Amino acid sequence: MRDRGNMAAPRSSTEQPIRLLYADDHPAVRTALRTLLERIDDIDLVGEAEDGEMALALARVLRPDLVMLDIDMPGMSGPEAAAAIKAQLPGTKILYFTGDRR
């Protein structure tokens, strides 16, 4: 995936895609993310979760390179899920996202 902020070079064709798992409690957001991320060649969507507990369970099985977590989810929040994922899979990168509902 190209980082438009620093114009980093795209990943080479010999590199493996980034294995990505993402979690959000809103179905419409998950659908929008899936639609957007499926268009990026350098990303392999390996899982989708509706909450932090599911994200943790899927991360244990799927072992993604990157987990995108909504910060505010019922039950286990994004930061709580991130702490548990990092404790069990320290090499996994975490990216938070959230929406302003105002």
What tokens appear for 68 in the block? 């995108």
pTM of the model: 0.83
Instruction: Write the CA distances from 86 to 15, 23, 59, 60, integer angstroms.
Output: 24, 15, 10, 11
User: pLDDT tens-digit profile of 46-70?
Assistant: 999 999 999 999 999 999 999 999 9
Helix (H, G, I), strand (E, B), or coil: what is residue 75? coil
8 Cβ neighbours under 8 A, 6+ residues apart:
2
Which is more confidently placed, 65 or 11?
65
